[in-house]
Amino acid sequence: MTIPDTAHLHADTLAAHLKTRLPHRRLDALRRLAEVLLALLQAESTLHRKIALHLPREATLESKTRTVARVFQDAHLTPQDVTDVLLPLLPDGKLTLIMDRTTWHYGQTPLNILVLGALLGGAVIPLVWRVLPHQGNSCTAARILLVARLLKVLPARRWTVVIADREFIGREWCSFLRWKRIRQCVRIRENTRLEDELVRDLFTTLQPGEVRTLFEWSWVYGGWMHVVITLSPVGDRVIVASDLPVLDILQTYRLRWGIESAFSSLKSRGLNLEATHMTAPERISRLFGLLCIALAWMARVGAQWVQDHPPRQDNRGRAVVSQVRIGWQVLGQAARWGGEIFGDCLQLLSMPFPPTNTSNFRSVRC
């Protein structure tokens, strides 16, 4: 079987899989979507002309480039569609959710996406997102709407905690999470007032690496929370407020770095989201959704590969190559050269990630 024949077969197989998750979508539209998704994995770019080079079609480059553009112009991939495709990957039980923003500029145009993702198999997979119509911080209403969208398919009883950085604070926001009975672990600003003093005035003699906590509950943004303070090796004060048990707070907050790694995989160190020339919010949203499916697929394949083939580690016991990168390499080879391995990879797209153990936290010394 020639490479073009293999590519056609892969696109047909992937389109059939997507049809099982999105029965309301036309099969021809899903096949174009499948072709672009497989081409994107091989092109390592979001530029239309680079994706078009990998489309298995007997047509001119200009014609294939228009096909790629049409995928993002037509409303055949909504955020809800992406969530429906990703839901089978969620393991049973509780999930750790992380909220953050990713931003970049195309010329003078700022592009800003608010993201809420789940920690799955050591990687954070975006489940819902919103392209913000402005640069800078998100507003409370945008965050609440994002959480509400995910609650429609993932009830609050399955949320272990929401982790967020200093941007995602405020009385109304924190009160909403309490109302929904969702635990939170957020870094707060140094000018936050606890009763009659600012948090920056607490533990002024703190040394790098040390951890201090207020043993009593503190009234933070309309509710009682524990407050933990530490000093990073570079001297930054990290102040985290949470309604989790006090010994779990700092270790839980460290999981937030997973979403930064996810953004890195979606952008310059991976699929090159910021290379796109599109600026229309609805087209950026469709592109981001397709990249989320690609990232989840890469992470799921990588998780399975790591289980079967323990990765090489450095002197500090960390994997030399990330799980997502391993999955990308395996999936890229499978998409290009075919064989039984592509079928195995496709099957993983409908299998849940192994459960992520975030319940056994390392206690911090107070």
pLDDT in tens, 158-217: 999 999 999 999 999 999 999 999 999 999 998 888 877 888 888 888 888 889 888 789
89 and 71 together in one domain: no
Residue 301: predicted pLDDT: 93
Question: Do 44 and 183 fall within a single domain?
Answer: no
Establish if 157 belongs to a structural domain: yes
What is the distance between the alpha carbons of residues 311 and 37, in angstroms, rounded to a whole number?
Answer: 27
| CA 288 remoteness from chain centre | 10
Q: Measured between alpha carbons, how far is 326 from 314 in angstroms, rounded to an integer?
A: 16
Same domain for 49 and 91?
no
Q: Which of 4-13, 86-95, 141-150, 286-295 has the lowest mean pLDDT?
A: 4-13
The pLDDT of residue 4: 60
Q: Please report whether residue 222 resides in a domain.
A: yes
Contacts of residue 3, defined as CB under 8 A and 6 or more positions apart, other chains included, come to: 56, 336, 337, 338
Task: Looking at the structure, tell me whether residues 205 and 307 fall in a common domain.
Answer: no
Please identify, among 202, 225, 258, the residue that sits at the C-terminal boundary of a domain.
Answer: 258
Question: Is there a single domain that holds both residue 88 and residue 127?
Answer: yes
Is residue 332 pLDDT above 90, yes or no?
A: no
Which is nearest to 165 in space by CA: 156, 154, 175, 173? 173
CB under 8 Å to 40, separation ≥6 — which residues? 46, 51, 54, 271, 290, 291, 294
Domain of residue 150: give its range: 84-258
Number of domains in the chain: 2
What average pLDDT does this structure show over 227-241?
89
**pLDDT tens for each residue of 93-110:** 999 999 999 999 998 899
In a domain, 168, yes or no: yes
CA–CA gap between residue 133 and residue 305 (Å, rounded) = 39
**CA distances to 25, 111, 119, 169 from 182, in Å:** 34, 29, 16, 15
What's the confidence (pLDDT) of residue 2?
53
Q: Is the pLDDT of residue 361 over 60?
A: no
Looking up tokens 């109302």 gives 179
The pTM score is: 0.91
Band of pLDDT at residue 124, cut at 50, 70 and 90:
very high
The Cα–Cα gap between 2 and 356 comes to 40
